[in-house]
Amino acid sequence: MMTLACRKLDSHPQSSAQQHSGPWLVWLHGLLGSGQDWLPVAQLCGDYSSLLIDLPGHGESVSLTTRGFDDISHQLTQTLHANGIREYWLAGYSLGGRIAMYHACYGNSVGLQGLLVEGGNLGLESDELRETRFRHDSQWAQRFRDEPLPQVLADWYQQEVFADLDPQQREQLVSLRANNHGPAVAEMLEATSLGHQPWLLPALQRLSVPYTYLCGERDHKFQQLAHQYKLPLRTLARAGHNAHRANPGAFAAQVLSFLSQSSFLSLPR
Do the beta carbons of residue 95 and residue 189 sit within 8 Å? Answer: no
Question: What does the pLDDT read at residue 8?
Answer: 65
pLDDT digits (tens, 9 = 90+) for 176-219: 999 999 999 999 999 999 999 999 999 999 999 999 999 999 99
Say how far apart CA 45 and CA 99 lie, in whole Å: 22
Question: What does the pLDDT read at residue 17?
Answer: 40
The pTM assigned to this predicted structure is: 0.93
Contacts of residue 235, Cβ cutoff 8 Å, sequence gap at least 6: 214, 215, 216, 217, 223
58 to 26, 35, 71, 110, 164: CA distances (angstroms): 16, 9, 16, 26, 25
Determine if residue 119 is left, alpha or beta; phi over 0 gives left, psi from -120 to 50 gives alpha, anything else beta.
left
Say how far apart CA 165 and CA 268 lie, in whole Å: 45
Say how far apart CA 119 and CA 219 lie, in whole Å: 8
Instruction: Identify the CATH homologous superfamily for domain 6-123+198-266.
Output: Alpha/Beta hydrolase fold, catalytic domain (3.40.50.1820)
